Structure 1
Amino acid sequence: MESVWNHSCKFDNRNSLSGNLETNVLIIGAGIAGLLTGYLLKEKGIDSIIIDAEKICSGNTENTTAKITSQHNIIYEKIIREFGLEKAKQYAYANELAIKKYREIIEKNNIDCDLEEKDAYIYTLYEDDRIQKELEAALEVGIKAEIVHKTSLPFGIRDALKYKDQAQFNPLKFLNFISKDLEIYENTRALEVEDNLVKTDKGEIRANHIVVATHYPIINVPGFYFTRMHQDRTYVIALENAGDVDGMYIDLDKNGYSFRNYKNLLILGGASKRTGENKEGGAYDNLRKKAKEFYPNSKEVFNWSAQDCITPDGVPYIGQYSSNTPNLYVETGFNKWGMTSSMVAAMIISDMIVGKENEFNEIFSPHRFDFTASINQLTKDGIETIKNFSMQKIYIPKEHIDHVKSGEAEIVEYDGKKVGVYKDLEGKYHIVSTKCAHLGCQLQWNKDELIWECPCHGSRYDYDGNWIESPSIYSLSNADGEK
């Protein structure tokens, strides 16, 4: 599994941390949000250190569809309804400014990252009054938009809401350039934050300001972000010999498909599922089936998947990590719109660190959240978490390990413990605890990617139990209880 971005761009290796350091600003996470924050701080004359548990941009940044847009599905009507017109204008202005900032950086430095001006569309195959309502909301907050009835998609539509003057690019080519002069330590995993001290597996770093840009926050308390987000996983294939759709598209239907081109490729996405809910697999097969339907002569050349943190109200959490940690900051909950949201986060956090106020940080504040906002989604997420904790305690399958078929995985009772058993195609068993190393939820198998996933908060592990993705920072126990 490899994205087109990863195939087209490789980063130079960086050293791991060796010993203890002190710095003004420490950024945990070398994905797009962390790198942009470091870059904007450097523009302001502030040096920083960035650490990452793996390689630069080796997480979700390399698996994006890379749409630089303020069109975030149906969002503006909802923000106006829940937060009021002024805060909706803040959200729109921040994301439009983010698009402008990308252009400014790219043009100023003459960065070759395949930047293209493209319109963005939300389309629907059926009559749906949400399109008209979102048009009215978009116009009210100052975004240039219109409804069209014909597109370059390989099928007819009913309506499409078109946002003008948006963009797309190759994110890794862009980030490769802006990261060259930043101090970055790879393969350096943050384990604990105590006041102004971050303990890693390679040493300790003391900092005046600490930014957590790890996609999903790795610190449970304070902040309690695990109670106010879940994670979705979206699957993508890139096709040769497919059409030029002349724009960036998403379906209003959550089960629909997204489209954009990159050079001679058509990037087709969809099959989104909550992380931990892909036991039966078939996400890629669904996309391949649709590819043959839409583009009979097409050929798949890449496939990949990306994970996104979803907030109950659809707005990211950007700002102080909690009300009692003034020098600890968070950038998370980008709701599948990580390109502009990362730039917004970098602008807000870099301003906060230098003591500058901006006119749009209020809507993104993590402290805006209360249990009355989007209560239905919050309740749904809470039920999912409670359900999976309960499953860990009461559900005990009766299968024996010999019943697991080659190429498949099962949760079984083994040696008095509930474990996950994957049998590879050579007949070797891979046995791990099904208890997530984050908060103990029962893991579920992802058949498409041969990975154990947490349906509560989105941690992921390979079939040998090795850590892949936060919020967990540890690998799984194996069948003997080792780590």
Structure 2
Amino acid sequence: MESVWNSSAEFRKRESLSEDIECDIVIIGAGMAGLLIAYMLNKSGRKVVVIDAKNIASGNTRNTTAKITAQHDLIYDKLIKEFGEEKARQYAKANELAIKKYKEIIDEEIIACDFEEKDAYVYSLTNVQNIEDECEAAKKLGIDAELVHEVNLPFDIEVALKFKHQAQFNPLKFLERISENLTIYENTRAIDIKENLVVTEGGKITANHIVVATHFPVLNVPGYYFMRMHQERAYVLALENAADINGMYKDSDKNGYSFRNYKDLLLLGGVAQRTGENEDGGAYEKLRKVAKELYPNSIEKYHWSAQDCMTLDNIPYIGYYSFKIPNLYVATGFKKWGMTSSMVSAMIINDMILENENDFLEIFSPARFDMSASMENAAKDITITAKNFIAQRIDIPEDHIGTIEKGSGGIIEYKGQKAGVYKDKDGKVFAVSTKCPHLGCELHWNADELTWDCPCHGSRFDYEGNWVESPATTSLLDNV
């Protein structure tokens, strides 16, 4: 399972860290956010080092749909109501500037990354009022937006909100170019952070500033981001012989679908679900059914999935990791808008480290917590997390591996302990602990991707127990 971007770029292999080093800034995470932050700081003449537990752009950057847009679902009407017009304007201005900054870098570096200016649409099949309210809010904030009633989709809509002059590109072609002159250590996992020190398996890095850009923050305390976010997964098909829709589209309904073209392919996305809630599988099959209904002659060329960090108020956390550690920074919680949020992160953290003024700090500050806006989501997250902590302690009836069918996985009683068992198509058995090494939640089987996923905080592991996604930083191999 690979995305359409995977074969489009070839990153130069980097060595793992094997000694103690010093630098001005160390950035943990070599995805879009980490590399953009490094690129900007490197351009300013600072000595920057990037480390990644795997390889360059090996995480969710590789699985994005790569839309560069300030249209983040229906957010501006909510922002105005919950945070006021000024803070909502900060959010809008930051994301519109992010689009311009991408184009500026692409033009300056002469990057062939299939950058195209496209309009973005959020549409509804039923709810006109929400779209109209969002349009009014967007215009109030100075966004070039308009309502339309006809779009290039193979079904009728009630209304859509069109944001003009947005963009799309190939993210790996872009990163291949901007990472060329950066100092990057691959397969270098950060295992601890202490004031001005990042400890890795291969050596220690002393730095004046430390940036955590690991998708989900790996340091639990301070910050407590595991209490302020959860993770969700969404699925994508790349279809040949489908339509050129000349734009980027997203349903305002969470159960709806998104569309955008890349060259001769149509990217169809949807089936959003909380990480750890795909035990029976079928996410790709749902998309395939929709694809055949909407585009009967289409042929599937690629399929993949991505994981998104969802904050309590749907605004990213960008800035100081905690005011207790003034040289530690974080960029996380991008929801489904990783491309513009990565650039916003780069602009903000670059200005913070260089001590420049920045107009967007307040709305994105991790220090915020609006109780009135966030209590409902917080209560929901705490309930789900508590349920899964309790599940770890419940005894299950005695079982045996024979009940697991070939090609399937499940939880059984194994040697007196809960174990996650996957039996491949040849009958070979792989058993792992079901206890997430992050904070002890019980892992759930993901039948579509053959992984063990944590419903509490989104850590993921392959069926052999190898680490796939943070916030966990270790595998399951030593836990059985």
Smaller-chain TM-score range?
A: over 0.9
Is 1:452–1:463's contact at 8 Å kept on the other side of the alignment?
A: yes
Structure 1 SS opposite 2:362? coil
Report the counterpart of residue 339 of structure 1 in structure 2.
339
- TM-superposed CA distance for 1:416, in Å, is 1.0
- TM-superposed CA distance for 1:7, in Å, is 1.8
Distance 1:4 1:339 in 2: 16
Deviations 1:422-446 (A, max 9, x none): 1111111100000001000000000
Structure 2 SS opposite 1:30? coil
Distance 2:370 2:201 in 1: 35
Structure 1, unmatched stretches of 5+, are: none
Distance 1:294 1:150 in 2: 17
- TM-superposed CA distance for 1:477, in Å, is 4.0
Structure 2 SS opposite 1:142? coil
Report the counterpart of residue 121 of structure 1 in structure 2.
121
Report the counterpart of residue 208 of structure 1 in structure 2.
208
Deviates more, 1:215-224 or 1:402-411: 402-411
Is 2:466–2:477's contact at 8 Å kept on the other side of the alignment?
A: no
Distance 1:202 1:251 in 2: 46
Structure 2 SS opposite 1:104? helix
1:25 and 2:25 equivalent?
Answer: yes
Distance 2:372 2:191 in 1: 33
Report the counterpart of residue 430 of structure 1 in structure 2.
430
Distance 2:397 2:473 in 1: 28
Distance 1:382 1:137 in 2: 32
Distance 1:399 1:159 in 2: 53
Distance 1:344 1:400, change over 3 A: same
Distance 1:208 1:370 in 2: 31
- TM-superposed CA distance for 1:163, in Å, is 0.3
Structure 1 SS opposite 2:364? coil
Distance 1:367 1:460 in 2: 27
- TM-superposed CA distance for 1:314, in Å, is 0.7
Question: TM-score normalized by structure 2?
Answer: 0.99
1:48 and 2:48 equivalent?
Answer: yes
Report the counterpart of residue 233 of structure 1 in structure 2.
233
Deviations 1:286-329 (A, max 9, x none): 11111111111110000110000001111000000011110000
Report the counterpart of residue 311 of structure 1 in structure 2.
311
- TM-superposed CA distance for 1:128, in Å, is 3.1
1:182 and 2:172 equivalent?
Answer: no
Is 1:277–1:455's contact at 8 Å kept on the other side of the alignment?
A: yes
**Residue-pair matches, total:** 480
1:95 and 2:63 equivalent?
Answer: no
Aligned positions of 1:64-463 closer than 5 A: 64-463=64-463
Deviations 1:120-146 (A, max 9, x none): 000111133110110011011110101
Amino acid at match of 1:417: Q
Amino acid at match of 1:428: K
Question: TM-score normalized by structure 1?
Answer: 0.98
Amino acid at match of 2:323: S
Report the counterpart of residue 5 of structure 2 in structure 1.
5
Report the counterpart of residue 59 of structure 2 in structure 1.
59
Distance 1:395 1:316 in 2: 38
Distance 2:297 2:25 in 1: 51
- TM-superposed CA distance for 1:410, in Å, is 1.3
Distance 2:477 2:348 in 1: 39
Distance 2:409 2:421 in 1: 5
- TM-superposed CA distance for 1:92, in Å, is 0.2
Root-mean-square deviation (CA, aligned residues, Å) is 0.9
Q: Equivalent pairs: percent with the same residue?
A: 63
- TM-superposed CA distance for 1:370, in Å, is 4.6
- TM-superposed CA distance for 1:372, in Å, is 3.8
Amino acid at match of 2:45: G
Is 1:91–1:360's contact at 8 Å kept on the other side of the alignment?
A: yes
Deviations 1:142-175 (A, max 9, x none): 1010110000111111100000000000000001
- TM-superposed CA distance for 1:395, in Å, is 4.6
Is 1:38–1:47's contact at 8 Å kept on the other side of the alignment?
A: no
Amino acid at match of 2:269: G
Structure 2, unmatched stretches of 5+, are: none
Structure 1 SS opposite 2:133? helix
Structure 1 SS opposite 2:376? helix
- TM-superposed CA distance for 1:402, in Å, is 1.4
Structure 2 SS opposite 1:321? strand
Structure 2 SS opposite 1:373? helix
- TM-superposed CA distance for 1:399, in Å, is 2.5
Distance 1:168 1:423 in 2: 40
Distance 2:442 2:203 in 1: 32
